[in-house]
Copies of this chain bind each other. A is one copy, B any other.
Amino acid sequence: MNLQLVYEGKSKRVYVKDESTLILEFKDDVTAGDGTVRASAIGKGILCARTSAYFFKMLEIEGVRTHFIEFDGYRRMLVRRLSIVPIEVIVRNYAYGSLMKRMPLYRILQNLDPPLIEFHYKDDVLHDPLVLPEDIVKTGLVTENELKAIADTALTINRILTSIFSKYGLRFVDLKLEFGRDSSGKLLVADEISGDTFRVIDETGSHLDKEVFRKTRETGPLLKAYIELAKRLGIKVDDIAAPY
Protein backbone atom coordinates (compact mmCIF):
# COMPACT_ATOMS: atom_id res chain seq x y z
CA MET A 1 0.00 0.00 0.00
CA ASN A 2 1.45 3.35 -1.01
CA LEU A 3 0.43 5.84 1.65
CA GLN A 4 1.14 9.56 1.78
CA LEU A 5 2.10 10.79 5.25
CA VAL A 6 0.34 14.13 5.79
CA TYR A 7 0.93 14.70 9.47
CA GLU A 8 3.01 13.29 12.28
CA GLY A 9 2.00 14.26 15.80
CA LYS A 10 3.31 13.30 19.23
CA SER A 11 1.54 9.94 19.30
CA LYS A 12 0.10 9.33 15.82
CA ARG A 13 0.93 9.41 12.13
CA VAL A 14 -1.76 10.39 9.66
CA TYR A 15 -1.75 9.04 6.08
CA VAL A 16 -4.08 9.90 3.22
CA LYS A 17 -5.84 6.85 1.83
CA ASP A 18 -8.12 8.61 -0.62
CA GLU A 19 -10.06 11.84 -0.99
CA SER A 20 -12.44 11.05 1.85
CA THR A 21 -10.48 8.74 4.15
CA LEU A 22 -7.31 8.79 6.23
CA ILE A 23 -5.33 6.18 8.11
CA LEU A 24 -4.35 6.91 11.72
CA GLU A 25 -1.29 5.03 12.85
CA PHE A 26 -0.76 4.89 16.61
CA LYS A 27 2.91 5.21 17.56
CA ASP A 28 4.55 3.82 20.69
CA ASP A 29 5.72 7.33 21.62
CA VAL A 30 4.54 8.99 24.78
CA THR A 31 5.18 12.59 25.80
CA ALA A 32 4.58 14.74 28.86
CA GLY A 33 5.30 18.26 30.07
CA ASP A 34 3.99 19.92 26.89
CA GLY A 35 6.19 17.65 24.75
CA THR A 36 9.40 18.26 26.71
CA VAL A 37 9.57 14.66 28.05
CA ARG A 38 9.50 11.89 25.43
CA ALA A 39 9.81 8.13 25.56
CA SER A 40 8.90 5.04 23.60
CA ALA A 41 6.73 2.38 25.26
CA ILE A 42 6.71 -0.75 23.10
CA GLY A 43 3.10 -1.81 22.56
CA LYS A 44 1.55 1.44 23.73
CA GLY A 45 0.41 2.36 20.20
CA ILE A 46 -1.43 -0.94 19.81
CA LEU A 47 -3.05 -0.55 23.24
CA CYS A 48 -4.26 2.99 22.53
CA ALA A 49 -5.49 2.02 19.06
CA ARG A 50 -7.45 -0.94 20.43
CA THR A 51 -8.88 1.14 23.26
CA SER A 52 -9.89 3.89 20.83
CA ALA A 53 -11.48 1.41 18.43
CA TYR A 54 -13.35 -0.15 21.36
CA PHE A 55 -14.82 3.22 22.38
CA PHE A 56 -15.56 4.38 18.83
CA LYS A 57 -17.53 1.17 18.28
CA MET A 58 -19.39 1.71 21.56
CA LEU A 59 -20.26 5.25 20.52
CA GLU A 60 -21.45 4.03 17.12
CA ILE A 61 -23.80 1.57 18.85
CA GLU A 62 -25.17 4.46 20.91
CA GLY A 63 -25.73 6.59 17.80
CA VAL A 64 -22.85 9.04 18.26
CA ARG A 65 -21.28 9.93 14.91
CA THR A 66 -17.47 9.64 14.83
CA HIS A 67 -14.75 9.55 12.18
CA PHE A 68 -14.13 5.82 12.82
CA ILE A 69 -14.62 3.42 9.90
CA GLU A 70 -12.45 0.35 10.44
CA PHE A 71 -9.61 -1.00 12.59
CA ASP A 72 -6.83 -3.42 11.54
CA GLY A 73 -6.56 -4.78 15.09
CA TYR A 74 -3.08 -3.37 15.62
CA ARG A 75 -1.97 0.23 15.04
CA ARG A 76 -3.96 1.43 12.08
CA MET A 77 -7.42 2.83 11.94
CA LEU A 78 -9.31 3.90 8.82
CA VAL A 79 -11.18 7.13 9.50
CA ARG A 80 -13.21 9.72 7.63
CA ARG A 81 -11.18 12.68 6.46
CA LEU A 82 -12.33 15.75 8.37
CA SER A 83 -11.51 19.39 8.59
CA ILE A 84 -10.57 19.62 12.28
CA VAL A 85 -12.08 22.38 14.43
CA PRO A 86 -9.07 23.80 16.34
CA ILE A 87 -10.77 23.41 19.71
CA GLU A 88 -10.19 20.84 22.44
CA VAL A 89 -13.37 19.98 24.30
CA ILE A 90 -12.76 18.80 27.86
CA VAL A 91 -15.43 17.18 30.00
CA ARG A 92 -14.60 16.93 33.68
CA ASN A 93 -16.38 14.77 36.26
CA TYR A 94 -13.79 15.27 39.01
CA ALA A 95 -11.32 18.12 39.56
CA TYR A 96 -7.83 17.23 38.37
CA GLY A 97 -4.87 18.38 36.28
CA SER A 98 -5.02 21.78 34.59
CA LEU A 99 -8.29 22.60 36.35
CA MET A 100 -6.42 22.62 39.69
CA LYS A 101 -3.77 24.85 38.15
CA ARG A 102 -6.13 27.60 37.04
CA MET A 103 -8.31 27.36 40.15
CA PRO A 104 -6.42 25.92 43.15
CA LEU A 105 -9.49 26.34 45.37
CA TYR A 106 -10.94 23.09 44.06
CA ARG A 107 -10.33 20.05 46.24
CA ILE A 108 -8.41 17.41 44.30
CA LEU A 109 -10.91 14.96 42.75
CA GLN A 110 -13.81 17.15 43.92
CA ASN A 111 -17.03 15.83 42.37
CA LEU A 112 -18.08 18.43 39.80
CA ASP A 113 -21.53 17.02 39.12
CA PRO A 114 -22.96 18.30 36.79
CA PRO A 115 -19.86 17.76 34.64
CA LEU A 116 -17.84 20.80 33.64
CA ILE A 117 -17.33 21.42 29.92
CA GLU A 118 -14.43 23.57 28.83
CA PHE A 119 -12.98 24.63 25.51
CA HIS A 120 -9.33 25.23 24.70
CA TYR A 121 -7.98 26.84 21.56
CA LYS A 122 -5.53 24.41 19.92
CA ASP A 123 -2.34 26.40 19.59
CA ASP A 124 1.01 24.91 20.61
CA VAL A 125 2.71 28.29 21.01
CA LEU A 126 -0.06 29.53 23.32
CA HIS A 127 -0.20 26.14 25.13
CA ASP A 128 -3.85 25.50 24.21
CA PRO A 129 -5.38 28.29 26.32
CA LEU A 130 -8.79 28.03 27.95
CA VAL A 131 -11.29 30.11 25.97
CA LEU A 132 -14.91 31.06 26.53
CA PRO A 133 -17.71 29.55 24.44
CA GLU A 134 -18.33 33.10 23.14
CA ASP A 135 -14.73 33.30 21.85
CA ILE A 136 -15.34 30.30 19.62
CA VAL A 137 -18.59 31.63 18.20
CA LYS A 138 -17.54 35.29 17.87
CA THR A 139 -14.38 34.35 15.94
CA GLY A 140 -16.46 32.23 13.57
CA LEU A 141 -14.90 28.83 14.32
CA VAL A 142 -18.36 27.32 14.79
CA THR A 143 -21.90 28.66 14.91
CA GLU A 144 -23.81 28.93 18.18
CA ASN A 145 -25.92 25.90 17.20
CA GLU A 146 -22.84 23.88 16.31
CA LEU A 147 -21.27 24.71 19.65
CA LYS A 148 -24.44 23.56 21.38
CA ALA A 149 -24.35 20.32 19.38
CA ILE A 150 -20.67 19.81 20.28
CA ALA A 151 -21.39 20.33 23.99
CA ASP A 152 -24.40 17.98 23.85
CA THR A 153 -22.36 15.29 22.08
CA ALA A 154 -19.53 15.70 24.61
CA LEU A 155 -21.98 15.18 27.47
CA THR A 156 -23.53 12.16 25.74
CA ILE A 157 -20.08 10.60 25.28
CA ASN A 158 -19.32 11.37 28.91
CA ARG A 159 -22.47 9.52 30.00
CA ILE A 160 -21.64 6.50 27.82
CA LEU A 161 -18.06 6.28 29.08
CA THR A 162 -19.11 6.85 32.70
CA SER A 163 -21.48 3.93 32.44
CA ILE A 164 -18.90 1.63 30.79
CA PHE A 165 -16.16 2.50 33.29
CA SER A 166 -18.43 2.11 36.31
CA LYS A 167 -19.37 -1.38 35.09
CA TYR A 168 -15.69 -2.31 35.45
CA GLY A 169 -15.18 -0.62 38.81
CA LEU A 170 -13.44 2.45 37.40
CA ARG A 171 -14.00 6.12 38.16
CA PHE A 172 -14.06 8.37 35.10
CA VAL A 173 -12.21 11.63 35.88
CA ASP A 174 -12.09 13.58 32.63
CA LEU A 175 -11.90 13.37 28.85
CA LYS A 176 -10.55 15.41 25.95
CA LEU A 177 -12.42 15.33 22.65
CA GLU A 178 -11.84 16.82 19.22
CA PHE A 179 -14.33 17.42 16.47
CA GLY A 180 -14.12 17.93 12.72
CA ARG A 181 -16.35 18.56 9.73
CA ASP A 182 -16.81 16.08 6.89
CA SER A 183 -17.13 17.26 3.27
CA SER A 184 -20.84 17.93 3.78
CA GLY A 185 -20.07 20.12 6.83
CA LYS A 186 -21.38 17.65 9.42
CA LEU A 187 -19.54 17.63 12.76
CA LEU A 188 -18.10 14.26 13.82
CA VAL A 189 -15.99 13.17 16.80
CA ALA A 190 -12.35 12.93 15.67
CA ASP A 191 -8.92 12.02 17.11
CA GLU A 192 -8.74 9.14 19.63
CA ILE A 193 -10.37 8.01 22.87
CA SER A 194 -7.77 6.27 25.04
CA GLY A 195 -5.69 6.58 28.18
CA ASP A 196 -3.84 9.34 26.32
CA THR A 197 -7.01 11.46 26.17
CA PHE A 198 -9.00 10.49 29.27
CA ARG A 199 -8.24 9.96 32.97
CA VAL A 200 -9.71 7.02 34.84
CA ILE A 201 -8.84 5.67 38.29
CA ASP A 202 -9.36 2.28 39.90
CA GLU A 203 -10.71 1.32 43.34
CA THR A 204 -7.38 2.23 44.99
CA GLY A 205 -7.13 5.62 43.25
CA SER A 206 -4.45 4.41 40.82
CA HIS A 207 -4.53 5.94 37.36
CA LEU A 208 -5.05 3.69 34.34
CA ASP A 209 -4.13 6.56 31.99
CA LYS A 210 -1.23 8.75 30.85
CA GLU A 211 -1.08 10.40 34.28
CA VAL A 212 1.14 7.43 35.25
CA PHE A 213 3.78 8.61 32.75
CA ARG A 214 3.31 12.28 33.69
CA LYS A 215 4.10 11.35 37.30
CA THR A 216 6.74 8.59 36.98
CA ARG A 217 8.14 9.56 33.55
CA GLU A 218 8.66 5.81 33.10
CA THR A 219 7.20 3.62 30.40
CA GLY A 220 6.97 0.39 32.44
CA PRO A 221 4.30 1.59 34.87
CA LEU A 222 2.47 3.27 31.94
CA LEU A 223 2.29 0.03 29.94
CA LYS A 224 1.12 -1.87 33.03
CA ALA A 225 -1.67 0.68 33.53
CA TYR A 226 -2.72 0.55 29.86
CA ILE A 227 -2.72 -3.26 29.89
CA GLU A 228 -4.80 -3.28 33.09
CA LEU A 229 -7.27 -0.83 31.53
CA ALA A 230 -7.55 -2.96 28.38
CA LYS A 231 -8.02 -6.15 30.42
CA ARG A 232 -10.85 -4.59 32.42
CA LEU A 233 -12.60 -3.56 29.23
CA GLY A 234 -12.13 -7.04 27.72
CA ILE A 235 -9.69 -5.81 25.05
CA LYS A 236 -7.13 -8.32 23.70
CA VAL A 237 -3.69 -7.89 25.32
CA ASP A 238 -2.15 -11.39 25.14
CA ASP A 239 0.10 -10.39 22.22
CA ILE A 240 1.53 -7.39 24.10
CA ALA A 241 4.70 -8.03 26.14
CA ALA A 242 4.01 -7.07 29.73
CA PRO A 243 6.72 -4.77 31.10
CA TYR A 244 9.42 -6.38 33.21
Contacts and interface: CB of A to CB of B under 8 A. Distances in A.
B129 A103 contact: yes
A106 B138 CA distance: 8
Interface of A: 99, 101-106, 110, 112, 116, 118, 121, 123, 126, 129-132, 134-135, 138-141
Nearest to A135: B103
A139 B106 contact: yes
Contacts of A99: 135
B105 A132 contact: no
**Most central of A99, A123, A129 by chain B CB within 10 Å:** A129
Contact of A123 (B104, B116, B134): B104
Contacts of A102: 121, 126, 129-131, 135
Nearest to A106: B139
Given A102-B130, A103-B135, A118-B132, 6 more contacts: A101-B126, A105-B141, A106-B135, A110-B138, A116-B132, A116-B138
A36 B30 CA distance: 37
Contacts of A138: 106, 110, 112, 116
A64 B141 CA distance: 37
A119 to B, nearest CB: 10
Nearest to A140: B105
Contacts of A121: 102-103, 105
A105 B112 CA distance: 31
Nearest to A134: B116
Contacts of A104: 123, 126
28 contacts: A99-B135, A101-B126, A102-B129, A102-B130, A102-B131, A102-B135, A103-B121, A103-B129, A103-B131, A103-B135, A103-B139, A104-B123, A105-B121, A105-B139, A105-B140, A105-B141, A106-B135, A106-B138, A106-B139, A110-B138, A112-B134, A112-B138, A116-B132, A116-B138, A118-B132, A129-B130, A130-B130, A132-B132
Nearest to A129: B102
Contacts of A110: 138
A177 B118 CA distance: 24
Nearest to A130: B130
Contacts of A123: 104
